[in-house]
Structure 1
Amino acid sequence: MRSAALSSVAEKYETTIRLDELVSGVPHPLTVAGVDLVLVRRADDTVSALYGRCAHRGVRLADGHVEGADLVCGVHGWRYDLDSGVSPVNNSVALATFDTTVRDGYVAIDLAAVRAHASRHPHLQGGGYQEEFSDVAPTSEEPYVTDIRELAEHGLSRLGMHGATGAMGVPRSELPSWDSIQFVTAQLARPRCSTVRRWTPVWSSGRRLPSRSPSTSRCSSPT
């Protein structure tokens, strides 16, 4: 969310980076109070500041792009309004937004609001293999995302040989059932065929001559 400079509450803002470090219309990553943010410089030199992780998979939105008034995730194309943080596709999905102001050529962000967000939504960025995708929670359509992350990071070391597994990327209701994909091995076997030559008599000039008819194939079932 954008705002004019508010001198009466200037103490709650934290100066971050220079405005000229931001390219207009290009997402820029920033971490404030341990929270990933994404900044977008607008055409009027104001700055939008939103929570920096996509609500779908936790991907860094700074790796996405801007289309009109929307910030678009670079992985699956989820969209968020730059002013409100609300998804124009699904209004029930929204990113937190934070007031900003530009002072003396620097972008200042509402630090109190960022800290309040961090206390309400502690995220799990611990570095390592999954650092860029670590702020992910299950959805109703894909309830096993947490289990998949556990397996990706720790294998079976904390679950045992019969730990939970699942699939991600496609809602379970749309995955094929086992009955629709199983087959019996006999379906893979190619029947053995043998060529049978049929001979029929042909009469020519009062004499019976052997003549061969076209070949036919006879296939037997696999044993």
Structure 2
Amino acid sequence: MADYDTAIFDVDGTLVDTNYHHALAWFRAFRRHDLTVPVWRLHRAIGMGGDHVVPAVAGDDVEQRLGEQLRADWAEEFAPLLDEIQPFEGVRELLEDVRRRGFTLVLASSGKAEHVDHYLGLFGGAELAEAWTTSADVEQTKPEPDLLRAALEKVGGRSAVLVGDSVWDFEAGGRLGVPGYGLRTGGFAVDELREAGALEVFESPAQLHERLDETALAKSARS
């Protein structure tokens, strides 16, 4: 395996169980404008940044007319759901082990800063990661690679391996030349994640941790 010095972990849907909360909040935001986008279709777009979701599920015309308002409505609908969100089992143990193996750990999120702070508090992410990103760090979010580039630049990493849960993570990684491993925690199928570029797919953070020695996260180039 190639040598990597940085481990980039997606946050939403990978470390914390948020994808279906996001889909429901988007559904409710669209309904404020008498637009009905099926929840399954919204789920398929989760993992993209909010700047891409509206045109992806409702078209460019809706984006032009209502995009900014829909994103504001989504934020209002998502806020009451925030306290329901929980980290996946084994997240902290996984991240601690990745650090022990010599990797610089950076968390890549396109979420709002207040949301990211909340998520990190659920598993002690601020203590474990060298840095993390929010929507304020980039102009374009996934599937554009800007977020991963910003994460790598924040820690001065030379080469990185990614862990994510959506096809959009691996599309972004592919554009930047960053390989990665998929988790099924976001609700995407194994074949979808592999076709998008995931080297291997695991059921959960806990299973990835159990099989870490089989991956490029077994040992850092710094070790």
**Higher strand residue share:** 1
Same fold by TM (over 0.5)?
no
TM-score normalised over the length of structure 1: 0.27
**Higher helix residue share:** 2
TM-score normalised over the length of structure 2: 0.27
